[in-house]
A and B are shown apart, each in its own frame.
Chain A
Protein backbone atom coordinates (compact mmCIF):
# COMPACT_ATOMS: atom_id res chain seq x y z
CA UNK A 1 0.00 0.00 0.00
CA UNK A 2 1.17 3.48 -0.72
CA UNK A 3 0.98 6.04 2.02
CA UNK A 4 0.44 9.50 0.66
CA UNK A 5 0.02 11.31 3.93
CA UNK A 6 3.61 12.49 3.90
CA UNK A 7 4.07 13.00 0.18
CA UNK A 8 3.62 16.01 -1.95
CA UNK A 9 0.24 16.52 -3.58
CA UNK A 10 1.66 16.02 -7.05
CA UNK A 11 3.20 12.61 -6.38
CA UNK A 12 -0.04 10.61 -6.43
CA UNK A 13 -1.35 12.08 -9.68
CA UNK A 14 2.12 11.75 -11.20
CA UNK A 15 2.43 8.06 -10.35
CA UNK A 16 -1.20 7.38 -11.17
CA UNK A 17 -1.03 9.03 -14.59
CA UNK A 18 2.22 7.25 -15.44
CA UNK A 19 0.86 3.81 -14.55
CA UNK A 20 -2.47 4.44 -16.29
CA UNK A 21 -0.63 5.76 -19.33
CA UNK A 22 1.60 2.70 -19.43
CA UNK A 23 -1.22 0.15 -19.15
CA UNK A 24 -3.55 2.00 -21.53
CA UNK A 25 -0.72 2.55 -23.98
CA UNK A 26 0.03 -1.15 -24.00
CA UNK A 27 -3.62 -2.06 -24.41
CA UNK A 28 -4.06 0.46 -27.23
CA UNK A 29 -2.10 -2.05 -29.32
CA UNK A 30 -5.16 -4.32 -29.33
CA UNK A 31 -7.48 -1.44 -30.13
CA UNK A 32 -5.42 -0.54 -33.18
CA UNK A 33 -4.94 -4.11 -34.36
CA UNK A 34 -8.70 -4.57 -34.24
CA UNK A 35 -9.32 -1.11 -35.69
CA UNK A 36 -11.90 -0.58 -33.03
CA UNK A 37 -11.18 3.04 -32.09
CA UNK A 38 -14.78 3.97 -32.87
CA UNK A 39 -16.21 1.22 -30.69
CA UNK A 40 -13.91 2.26 -27.87
CA UNK A 41 -15.24 5.77 -28.17
CA UNK A 42 -18.78 4.41 -28.07
CA UNK A 43 -18.06 2.25 -25.04
CA UNK A 44 -16.41 5.05 -23.11
CA UNK A 45 -19.56 7.14 -23.49
CA UNK A 46 -21.79 4.18 -22.71
CA UNK A 47 -20.14 3.80 -19.32
CA UNK A 48 -21.73 7.01 -18.04
CA UNK A 49 -25.35 5.82 -17.82
CA UNK A 50 -24.11 2.49 -16.42
CA UNK A 51 -22.22 4.21 -13.64
CA UNK A 52 -25.07 6.67 -13.03
CA UNK A 53 -27.58 3.86 -12.61
CA UNK A 54 -25.21 1.93 -10.35
CA UNK A 55 -24.84 5.03 -8.18
CA UNK A 56 -28.61 5.55 -8.18
CA UNK A 57 -29.16 2.01 -6.94
CA UNK A 58 -26.38 1.83 -4.36
CA UNK A 59 -26.38 5.53 -3.41
CA UNK A 60 -22.60 5.62 -3.44
CA UNK A 61 -19.74 5.88 -5.91
CA UNK A 62 -16.98 3.29 -5.62
CA UNK A 63 -14.62 1.82 -8.19
CA UNK A 64 -16.34 -1.56 -7.82
CA UNK A 65 -19.91 -0.46 -8.46
CA UNK A 66 -18.69 1.87 -11.19
CA UNK A 67 -17.05 -1.07 -12.91
CA UNK A 68 -20.12 -3.31 -12.62
CA UNK A 69 -22.43 -0.55 -13.85
CA UNK A 70 -20.11 0.28 -16.75
CA UNK A 71 -19.76 -3.37 -17.67
CA UNK A 72 -23.52 -3.91 -17.79
CA UNK A 73 -24.11 -0.80 -19.86
CA UNK A 74 -21.35 -1.73 -22.33
CA UNK A 75 -22.62 -5.29 -22.70
CA UNK A 76 -26.19 -4.07 -23.26
CA UNK A 77 -25.21 -1.50 -25.89
CA UNK A 78 -22.63 -3.79 -27.49
CA UNK A 79 -25.00 -6.75 -27.74
CA UNK A 80 -27.84 -4.46 -28.74
CA UNK A 81 -25.96 -3.20 -31.75
CA UNK A 82 -25.04 -6.74 -32.79
CA UNK A 83 -28.67 -7.78 -32.41
CA UNK A 84 -29.90 -4.88 -34.58
CA UNK A 85 -27.32 -5.49 -37.30
CA UNK A 86 -28.11 -9.22 -37.48
CA UNK A 87 -31.83 -8.67 -37.75
CA UNK A 88 -32.07 -5.70 -40.07
CA UNK A 89 -30.28 -3.94 -42.89
CA UNK A 90 -28.71 -1.48 -40.42
CA UNK A 91 -24.94 -2.00 -40.09
CA UNK A 92 -23.46 -2.54 -36.64
CA UNK A 93 -21.60 0.79 -36.52
CA UNK A 94 -24.80 2.70 -37.26
CA UNK A 95 -26.72 0.84 -34.57
CA UNK A 96 -23.87 1.40 -32.13
CA UNK A 97 -23.79 5.15 -32.85
CA UNK A 98 -27.52 5.50 -32.23
CA UNK A 99 -27.57 3.35 -29.10
CA UNK A 100 -24.52 4.83 -27.40
CA UNK A 101 -25.53 8.47 -27.94
CA UNK A 102 -29.00 7.66 -26.62
CA UNK A 103 -27.51 5.93 -23.59
CA UNK A 104 -25.04 8.77 -23.03
CA UNK A 105 -27.84 11.35 -23.13
CA UNK A 106 -29.80 9.27 -20.66
CA UNK A 107 -26.78 9.26 -18.38
CA UNK A 108 -26.39 13.04 -18.57
CA UNK A 109 -30.09 13.46 -17.81
CA UNK A 110 -29.65 11.32 -14.71
CA UNK A 111 -26.72 13.33 -13.36
CA UNK A 112 -28.64 16.05 -11.48
CA UNK A 113 -30.55 13.34 -9.60
CA UNK A 114 -27.48 11.62 -8.22
CA UNK A 115 -26.26 12.07 -4.64
CA UNK A 116 -22.59 12.22 -5.61
CA UNK A 117 -22.66 14.69 -8.44
CA UNK A 118 -19.44 16.55 -7.63
CA UNK A 119 -17.17 13.53 -7.54
CA UNK A 120 -18.87 12.00 -10.56
CA UNK A 121 -18.22 15.10 -12.59
CA UNK A 122 -14.56 14.86 -11.78
CA UNK A 123 -14.73 11.34 -13.18
CA UNK A 124 -16.36 12.44 -16.38
CA UNK A 125 -13.75 14.96 -17.27
CA UNK A 126 -10.91 13.71 -15.13
CA UNK A 127 -9.44 15.22 -12.02
CA UNK A 128 -6.14 13.75 -10.99
CA UNK A 129 -5.77 16.11 -8.06
CA UNK A 130 -8.48 14.20 -6.22
CA UNK A 131 -6.59 10.93 -6.47
CA UNK A 132 -6.42 9.11 -3.17
CA UNK A 133 -4.06 6.32 -2.19
CA UNK A 134 -6.99 3.93 -2.52
CA UNK A 135 -7.56 5.05 -6.09
CA UNK A 136 -3.86 4.64 -6.77
CA UNK A 137 -3.90 1.08 -5.49
CA UNK A 138 -6.93 0.33 -7.63
CA UNK A 139 -5.06 1.64 -10.66
CA UNK A 140 -2.03 -0.51 -9.83
CA UNK A 141 -4.14 -3.64 -9.46
CA UNK A 142 -6.16 -3.10 -12.64
CA UNK A 143 -3.08 -2.26 -14.67
CA UNK A 144 -1.20 -5.30 -13.41
CA UNK A 145 -4.11 -7.63 -14.18
CA UNK A 146 -4.49 -6.18 -17.64
CA UNK A 147 -0.79 -6.34 -18.48
CA UNK A 148 -0.40 -9.86 -17.06
CA UNK A 149 -3.38 -11.32 -18.91
CA UNK A 150 -2.50 -9.58 -22.19
CA UNK A 151 1.01 -10.99 -22.09
CA UNK A 152 0.01 -14.47 -20.96
CA UNK A 153 -2.40 -14.78 -23.87
CA UNK A 154 -0.46 -12.72 -26.41
CA UNK A 155 -0.03 -15.53 -28.96
CA UNK A 156 -3.66 -16.63 -29.16
CA UNK A 157 -4.75 -12.98 -29.06
CA UNK A 158 -2.53 -12.10 -32.01
CA UNK A 159 -3.63 -15.15 -33.99
CA UNK A 160 -7.26 -14.24 -33.30
CA UNK A 161 -6.78 -10.67 -34.45
CA UNK A 162 -4.86 -11.50 -37.59
CA UNK A 163 -7.02 -14.34 -38.91
CA UNK A 164 -9.94 -15.30 -36.68
CA UNK A 165 -11.01 -18.19 -38.94
CA UNK A 166 -7.58 -19.73 -39.17
CA UNK A 167 -7.03 -19.21 -35.44
CA UNK A 168 -10.29 -20.99 -34.65
CA UNK A 169 -9.27 -23.91 -36.85
CA UNK A 170 -5.97 -24.06 -34.99
CA UNK A 171 -7.82 -24.64 -31.75
CA UNK A 172 -7.56 -21.08 -30.42
CA UNK A 173 -10.68 -20.31 -28.36
CA UNK A 174 -11.40 -17.11 -30.30
CA UNK A 175 -14.67 -16.37 -28.50
CA UNK A 176 -12.90 -16.48 -25.15
CA UNK A 177 -10.14 -14.26 -26.53
CA UNK A 178 -12.68 -11.72 -27.78
CA UNK A 179 -14.44 -11.67 -24.40
CA UNK A 180 -11.08 -11.28 -22.68
CA UNK A 181 -10.26 -8.22 -24.77
CA UNK A 182 -13.73 -6.75 -24.17
CA UNK A 183 -13.50 -7.21 -20.38
CA UNK A 184 -9.97 -5.83 -20.16
CA UNK A 185 -11.02 -2.87 -22.29
CA UNK A 186 -13.80 -1.93 -19.88
CA UNK A 187 -11.46 -2.43 -16.92
CA UNK A 188 -8.95 -0.07 -18.52
CA UNK A 189 -11.67 2.47 -19.26
CA UNK A 190 -12.90 2.44 -15.68
CA UNK A 191 -9.36 2.68 -14.36
CA UNK A 192 -8.59 5.71 -16.48
CA UNK A 193 -11.84 7.52 -15.65
CA UNK A 194 -10.32 9.46 -12.81
CA UNK A 195 -7.20 10.44 -14.68
CA UNK A 196 -8.66 11.67 -17.95
CA UNK A 197 -12.39 11.20 -17.60
CA UNK A 198 -14.68 8.98 -19.64
CA UNK A 199 -14.80 11.27 -22.62
CA UNK A 200 -11.06 11.68 -22.96
CA UNK A 201 -10.08 8.12 -22.04
CA UNK A 202 -10.46 7.18 -25.70
CA UNK A 203 -7.29 9.10 -26.42
CA UNK A 204 -5.13 7.01 -24.09
CA UNK A 205 -6.63 3.83 -25.50
CA UNK A 206 -6.01 4.75 -29.13
CA UNK A 207 -3.23 7.28 -29.59
CA UNK A 208 -0.11 5.61 -28.07
CA UNK A 209 0.09 2.59 -30.35
CA UNK A 210 -1.37 4.54 -33.27
CA UNK A 211 1.75 6.68 -32.94
CA UNK A 212 3.85 3.49 -32.92
CA UNK A 213 2.05 2.27 -36.06
CA UNK A 214 3.72 5.16 -37.86
CA UNK A 215 7.15 3.85 -36.84
CA UNK A 216 7.10 0.08 -36.70
CA UNK A 217 5.86 -3.16 -38.28
CA UNK A 218 6.64 -5.22 -35.25
CA UNK A 219 3.81 -6.11 -32.90
CA UNK A 220 6.12 -6.26 -29.88
CA UNK A 221 7.28 -2.67 -30.34
CA UNK A 222 3.69 -1.66 -31.10
CA UNK A 223 2.65 -2.79 -27.62
CA UNK A 224 5.71 -1.84 -25.54
CA UNK A 225 6.36 1.36 -27.50
CA UNK A 226 2.72 2.31 -26.99
CA UNK A 227 3.11 1.63 -23.27
CA UNK A 228 6.20 3.85 -23.12
CA UNK A 229 4.53 6.69 -25.00
CA UNK A 230 1.46 6.38 -22.77
CA UNK A 231 3.57 6.50 -19.60
CA UNK A 232 5.64 9.45 -20.82
CA UNK A 233 2.56 11.42 -21.82
CA UNK A 234 0.88 10.59 -18.51
CA UNK A 235 3.87 11.85 -16.54
CA UNK A 236 4.52 14.75 -18.93
CA UNK A 237 0.90 15.82 -18.82
CA UNK A 238 0.88 16.04 -15.03
CA UNK A 239 4.11 18.08 -15.04
CA UNK A 240 2.88 20.31 -17.84
CA UNK A 241 -0.34 21.04 -15.96
CA UNK A 242 1.79 22.50 -13.16
CA UNK A 243 3.33 25.09 -15.45
CA UNK A 244 0.34 26.06 -17.53
CA UNK A 245 -2.94 26.34 -15.81
CA UNK A 246 -4.94 23.44 -17.25
CA UNK A 247 -6.11 20.14 -15.82
CA UNK A 248 -3.68 17.24 -16.02
CA UNK A 249 -6.19 15.07 -17.89
CA UNK A 250 -6.51 17.57 -20.68
CA UNK A 251 -2.78 18.18 -20.98
CA UNK A 252 -2.15 14.41 -21.27
CA UNK A 253 -4.60 14.18 -24.14
CA UNK A 254 -3.26 17.30 -25.84
CA UNK A 255 0.29 15.94 -25.57
CA UNK A 256 -0.78 12.69 -27.22
CA UNK A 257 -2.41 14.63 -30.03
CA UNK A 258 0.68 16.74 -30.64
CA UNK A 259 3.02 13.72 -30.65
CA UNK A 260 0.69 11.96 -33.05
CA UNK A 261 0.79 14.90 -35.46
CA UNK A 262 4.58 15.11 -35.21
CA UNK A 263 4.88 11.37 -35.90
CA UNK A 264 2.46 11.62 -38.79
CA UNK A 265 4.56 14.40 -40.31
CA UNK A 266 8.11 13.32 -39.59
CA UNK A 267 8.17 9.54 -39.11
CA UNK A 268 11.06 8.21 -41.21
CA UNK A 269 9.01 5.14 -42.05
CA UNK A 270 5.39 6.09 -42.59
CA UNK A 271 5.44 9.88 -42.18
CA UNK A 272 3.83 12.09 -44.79
CA UNK A 273 7.10 13.85 -45.62
CA UNK A 274 8.66 10.47 -46.40
CA UNK A 275 6.04 9.96 -49.11
Chain B
Protein backbone atom coordinates (compact mmCIF):
# COMPACT_ATOMS: atom_id res chain seq x y z
CA UNK B 1 0.00 0.00 0.00
CA UNK B 2 2.96 2.32 0.52
CA UNK B 3 3.02 4.84 -2.22
CA UNK B 4 6.40 6.20 -3.23
CA UNK B 5 6.37 9.77 -4.31
CA UNK B 6 8.89 12.41 -5.20
CA UNK B 7 8.46 14.69 -2.19
CA UNK B 8 9.03 17.84 -4.12
CA UNK B 9 7.28 19.75 -1.38
CA UNK B 10 9.93 19.22 1.25
CA UNK B 11 13.54 18.37 1.86
CA UNK B 12 13.35 15.14 3.80
CA UNK B 13 13.15 12.88 0.74
CA UNK B 14 14.72 9.80 2.23
CA UNK B 15 12.35 9.47 5.17
CA UNK B 16 9.20 7.48 5.12
CA UNK B 17 6.18 9.72 5.31
CA UNK B 18 3.69 7.40 6.86
CA UNK B 19 0.67 8.26 8.87
CA UNK B 20 -0.45 5.54 11.25
CA UNK B 21 -3.72 5.96 13.10
CA UNK B 22 -4.38 3.33 15.75
CA UNK B 23 -7.60 2.72 17.68
CA UNK B 24 -8.57 6.35 17.64
CA UNK B 25 -11.62 7.08 19.77
CA UNK B 26 -13.10 10.50 20.46
CA UNK B 27 -15.85 11.13 22.97
CA UNK B 28 -17.65 14.42 23.42
CA UNK B 29 -18.96 14.30 26.97
CA UNK B 30 -21.05 11.12 26.89
CA UNK B 31 -21.37 10.94 23.11
CA UNK B 32 -19.03 8.78 21.06
CA UNK B 33 -18.10 10.62 17.87
CA UNK B 34 -15.41 8.20 16.67
CA UNK B 35 -14.77 4.64 17.71
CA UNK B 36 -11.66 2.57 17.08
CA UNK B 37 -10.48 4.12 13.86
CA UNK B 38 -7.29 2.56 12.49
CA UNK B 39 -5.62 3.07 9.13
CA UNK B 40 -2.20 3.58 7.56
CA UNK B 41 -1.32 5.70 4.61
CA UNK B 42 1.59 7.67 3.28
CA UNK B 43 2.13 10.89 1.47
CA UNK B 44 1.27 11.08 -2.16
CA UNK B 45 -2.16 9.70 -1.43
CA UNK B 46 -5.53 11.40 -1.56
CA UNK B 47 -7.88 9.98 1.05
CA UNK B 48 -11.61 10.61 1.03
CA UNK B 49 -13.55 10.34 4.27
CA UNK B 50 -17.02 9.12 3.39
CA UNK B 51 -19.94 8.51 5.68
CA UNK B 52 -23.24 9.95 6.84
CA UNK B 53 -23.56 13.39 8.42
CA UNK B 54 -22.66 13.20 12.08
CA UNK B 55 -20.63 10.10 11.29
CA UNK B 56 -17.40 11.60 12.57
CA UNK B 57 -15.71 12.87 9.39
CA UNK B 58 -15.07 16.36 10.73
CA UNK B 59 -14.11 14.99 14.13
CA UNK B 60 -11.50 12.73 12.53
CA UNK B 61 -10.00 15.65 10.59
CA UNK B 62 -9.98 17.82 13.66
CA UNK B 63 -8.41 15.18 15.86
CA UNK B 64 -5.60 14.62 13.34
CA UNK B 65 -5.13 18.40 13.24
CA UNK B 66 -5.00 18.48 17.03
CA UNK B 67 -8.16 20.58 17.34
CA UNK B 68 -10.08 17.89 19.19
CA UNK B 69 -8.79 15.84 22.08
CA UNK B 70 -8.31 12.12 21.52
CA UNK B 71 -10.01 9.99 24.14
CA UNK B 72 -7.87 6.96 23.33
CA UNK B 73 -5.63 5.83 20.50
CA UNK B 74 -2.58 7.24 18.77
CA UNK B 75 -1.69 9.08 15.61
CA UNK B 76 1.83 8.69 14.30
CA UNK B 77 3.36 10.75 11.54
CA UNK B 78 6.82 9.88 10.20
CA UNK B 79 7.32 7.47 13.07
CA UNK B 80 6.57 9.95 15.82
CA UNK B 81 3.45 10.39 17.89
CA UNK B 82 1.56 13.54 17.01
CA UNK B 83 0.84 15.16 20.33
CA UNK B 84 0.87 18.86 19.67
CA UNK B 85 0.54 21.12 16.68
CA UNK B 86 3.17 20.89 14.00
CA UNK B 87 3.50 22.98 10.88
CA UNK B 88 3.30 19.78 8.85
CA UNK B 89 -0.45 19.63 9.36
CA UNK B 90 -2.79 22.21 7.92
CA UNK B 91 -6.49 22.16 8.65
CA UNK B 92 -8.84 23.91 6.24
CA UNK B 93 -12.12 24.73 7.95
CA UNK B 94 -15.57 24.22 6.53
CA UNK B 95 -16.93 27.26 4.71
CA UNK B 96 -19.44 28.17 7.40
CA UNK B 97 -16.76 28.21 10.08
CA UNK B 98 -14.89 31.07 8.42
CA UNK B 99 -15.58 34.72 9.21
CA UNK B 100 -15.62 35.95 5.61
CA UNK B 101 -16.14 39.56 6.66
CA UNK B 102 -12.86 39.67 8.55
CA UNK B 103 -10.84 42.58 7.15
CA UNK B 104 -8.11 40.48 5.66
CA UNK B 105 -6.83 40.20 2.11
CA UNK B 106 -5.82 37.02 0.33
CA UNK B 107 -2.21 37.96 0.89
CA UNK B 108 -2.85 38.66 4.57
CA UNK B 109 -4.47 35.24 4.92
CA UNK B 110 -1.52 33.49 3.29
CA UNK B 111 0.89 35.47 5.49
CA UNK B 112 -0.89 34.03 8.52
CA UNK B 113 0.45 30.65 7.44
CA UNK B 114 3.92 31.89 8.37
CA UNK B 115 2.99 33.17 11.85
CA UNK B 116 3.22 29.88 13.76
CA UNK B 117 6.80 29.29 12.62
CA UNK B 118 7.77 32.88 13.31
CA UNK B 119 6.38 32.79 16.80
CA UNK B 120 5.12 35.95 18.40
CA UNK B 121 7.95 38.29 17.59
CA UNK B 122 10.01 36.71 14.80
CA UNK B 123 10.72 39.11 11.98
CA UNK B 124 8.78 38.63 8.77
CA UNK B 125 11.86 38.12 6.60
CA UNK B 126 12.57 37.97 2.87
CA UNK B 127 12.29 34.22 3.11
CA UNK B 128 8.75 34.55 4.46
CA UNK B 129 7.80 37.04 1.78
CA UNK B 130 9.19 34.70 -0.86
CA UNK B 131 7.23 31.77 0.59
CA UNK B 132 4.02 33.80 0.48
CA UNK B 133 4.72 34.97 -3.09
CA UNK B 134 5.39 31.43 -4.18
CA UNK B 135 2.27 30.05 -2.54
CA UNK B 136 0.14 32.73 -4.19
CA UNK B 137 1.81 32.07 -7.52
CA UNK B 138 1.38 28.30 -7.39
CA UNK B 139 -2.33 28.66 -6.69
CA UNK B 140 -2.81 31.26 -9.37
CA UNK B 141 -3.85 33.91 -6.85
CA UNK B 142 -1.18 36.55 -7.49
CA UNK B 143 -3.62 38.82 -9.31
CA UNK B 144 -6.18 38.49 -6.55
CA UNK B 145 -3.83 38.92 -3.59
CA UNK B 146 -5.18 42.32 -2.57
CA UNK B 147 -8.82 41.27 -2.59
CA UNK B 148 -10.71 40.89 0.65
CA UNK B 149 -11.49 37.19 1.14
CA UNK B 150 -15.24 37.62 0.75
CA UNK B 151 -14.75 39.10 -2.70
CA UNK B 152 -13.56 35.80 -4.15
CA UNK B 153 -15.53 33.01 -5.75
CA UNK B 154 -15.99 29.79 -3.79
CA UNK B 155 -13.19 28.06 -5.69
CA UNK B 156 -10.83 30.97 -5.18
CA UNK B 157 -11.61 30.97 -1.47
CA UNK B 158 -10.66 27.29 -1.21
CA UNK B 159 -7.45 28.02 -3.09
CA UNK B 160 -6.64 30.91 -0.76
CA UNK B 161 -6.83 28.61 2.26
CA UNK B 162 -4.76 25.98 0.44
CA UNK B 163 -2.21 28.70 -0.36
CA UNK B 164 -1.99 29.42 3.35
CA UNK B 165 -1.28 25.72 3.98
CA UNK B 166 1.44 25.78 1.31
CA UNK B 167 3.00 28.90 2.84
CA UNK B 168 2.97 27.09 6.16
CA UNK B 169 4.94 24.30 4.42
CA UNK B 170 2.34 21.80 5.50
CA UNK B 171 2.79 18.22 4.48
CA UNK B 172 -0.62 16.88 5.38
CA UNK B 173 -3.67 18.81 4.19
CA UNK B 174 -6.86 18.20 6.13
CA UNK B 175 -9.84 19.53 4.20
CA UNK B 176 -13.43 19.64 5.42
CA UNK B 177 -15.87 19.30 2.50
CA UNK B 178 -13.80 21.45 0.14
CA UNK B 179 -16.05 20.78 -2.87
CA UNK B 180 -19.25 22.03 -1.25
CA UNK B 181 -20.80 24.88 -3.19
CA UNK B 182 -18.32 24.84 -6.05
CA UNK B 183 -19.54 24.93 -9.64
CA UNK B 184 -18.33 22.36 -12.14
CA UNK B 185 -15.34 24.37 -13.40
CA UNK B 186 -14.15 25.32 -9.93
CA UNK B 187 -14.54 21.72 -8.77
CA UNK B 188 -12.48 20.53 -11.73
CA UNK B 189 -9.74 23.06 -10.93
CA UNK B 190 -9.70 22.04 -7.28
CA UNK B 191 -9.64 18.35 -8.21
CA UNK B 192 -6.64 18.87 -10.49
CA UNK B 193 -4.98 20.89 -7.76
CA UNK B 194 -5.38 18.11 -5.19
CA UNK B 195 -3.83 15.69 -7.71
CA UNK B 196 -0.89 18.03 -8.18
CA UNK B 197 -0.39 18.63 -4.45
CA UNK B 198 -0.38 14.89 -3.80
CA UNK B 199 1.99 14.16 -6.66
CA UNK B 200 4.39 16.67 -5.13
CA UNK B 201 4.48 14.50 -2.04
CA UNK B 202 1.70 15.81 0.16
CA UNK B 203 -0.93 13.74 1.86
CA UNK B 204 -4.49 14.89 1.30
CA UNK B 205 -7.21 13.84 3.71
CA UNK B 206 -10.62 15.26 2.89
CA UNK B 207 -14.20 14.67 3.88
CA UNK B 208 -16.38 14.28 0.82
CA UNK B 209 -20.06 13.75 0.24
CA UNK B 210 -20.39 13.44 -3.53
CA UNK B 211 -20.14 9.71 -4.14
CA UNK B 212 -20.11 10.05 -7.93
CA UNK B 213 -16.86 11.98 -7.99
CA UNK B 214 -15.10 10.25 -5.09
CA UNK B 215 -13.30 7.55 -7.10
CA UNK B 216 -11.97 10.01 -9.60
CA UNK B 217 -10.82 12.58 -7.04
CA UNK B 218 -9.42 10.29 -4.36
CA UNK B 219 -7.33 7.14 -4.68
CA UNK B 220 -8.04 5.95 -1.15
CA UNK B 221 -11.16 6.00 0.94
CA UNK B 222 -12.04 5.63 4.58
CA UNK B 223 -15.66 4.68 5.14
CA UNK B 224 -16.83 5.75 8.56
CA UNK B 225 -20.03 5.84 10.47
CA UNK B 226 -18.72 6.55 13.92
CA UNK B 227 -17.24 3.07 13.77
CA UNK B 228 -14.79 2.31 11.05
CA UNK B 229 -16.39 0.45 8.14
CA UNK B 230 -13.44 0.01 5.80
CA UNK B 231 -10.26 1.58 4.49
CA UNK B 232 -8.58 0.93 1.15
CA UNK B 233 -8.44 1.82 -2.50
CA UNK B 234 -11.37 3.90 -3.54
CA UNK B 235 -11.96 1.92 -6.72
CA UNK B 236 -12.42 -1.27 -4.75
CA UNK B 237 -14.36 0.12 -1.82
CA UNK B 238 -16.84 2.49 -3.39
CA UNK B 239 -19.41 -0.10 -4.29
CA UNK B 240 -23.12 -0.23 -3.61
CA UNK B 241 -22.65 -2.93 -1.02
CA UNK B 242 -20.05 -1.03 0.94
CA UNK B 243 -21.92 2.26 0.76
CA UNK B 244 -25.08 0.61 1.97
CA UNK B 245 -23.14 -0.82 4.84
CA UNK B 246 -21.72 2.62 5.65
CA UNK B 247 -24.84 4.66 5.38
CA UNK B 248 -27.51 2.28 6.60
CA UNK B 249 -26.05 0.57 9.63
CA UNK B 250 -26.98 2.16 12.89
CA UNK B 251 -23.99 2.93 15.00
CA UNK B 252 -23.96 2.73 18.74
CA UNK B 253 -23.91 6.09 20.47
Which residues from chain A sit less than 8 Å from chain B, CB to CB? 33, 152-153, 155-156, 158-159, 161-163, 165-166, 168-171, 213, 216-219, 222
Secondary structure of the A contact surface, majority rule: helix
Are A163 and B93 neighbours in the complex by a CB distance under 8 Å? Answer: yes
Residues of A within 8 A of B85 (CB): 169-171
9 tightest A-B contacts by CB? A217-B148, A169-B67, A169-B66, A170-B116, A217-B103, A171-B85, A155-B115, A170-B85, A169-B85
Closest chain A CB from B143 CB (angstroms): 16
Q: Check if B93 sits within 8 Å of A165, measured CB to CB.
A: yes
Closest B residue to A216 by beta carbon equals B103
Cβ of B102: which chain A residues have Cβ within 8 Å of it? 33, 161-162
Residues of chain A within 8 A of B148, CB atoms compared: 217
CA distance A125 to B23 in the complex (A): 62
The one of B103, B112, B120, B147 in contact with A152, judged by C-beta atoms closer than 8 angstroms, is: B120
Closest chain-B Cβ to A220's Cβ sits at a distance in Å of: 9
**CB-based contact B120/A169 at 8 Å:** no
What are 30 A-B pairs at a CB distance below 8 A? A155-B118, A155-B120, A156-B120, A158-B112, A159-B112, A159-B115, A161-B102, A162-B102, A163-B93, A163-B97, A165-B62, A165-B67, A165-B93, A165-B97, A166-B93, A168-B67, A169-B85, A169-B91, A170-B115, A213-B103, A216-B103, A217-B105, A217-B147, A217-B148, A218-B103, A218-B105, A218-B108, A219-B103, A219-B104, A219-B108
The answer to whether A162 and B103 touch (CB under 8 A), given A152-B120, A169-B65, is no
A211 to B91, CA, bound (A): 33
Residues on B lying within 8 angstroms of A by beta carbon are: 62, 65-67, 84-85, 91, 93, 97-99, 102-105, 108, 112, 115-116, 118, 120-121, 146-148
Q: Which of B67, B116, B118 has the most CB of A within 10 A?
A: B116
Docked Cα-Cα span, A153 to B119, in Å, equals: 10
Chain B residues in 8 Å Cβ range of A170: 85, 115-116
In whole angstroms, how far apart are the Cα atoms of A9 and B152 in the complex? 54
**Do B103 and A166 touch (CB < 8 A)?**
no
Nearest B residue to A172 by beta-carbon distance?
B116
Task: Please name all residues of chain A whose beta carbon is closer than 8 Å to the beta carbon of B146 when the two chains form the complex.
Answer: 217
Residues of B within 8 A of A162 (CB): 99, 102, 104, 112
Contact (Cβ within 8 A) B108 A166: no
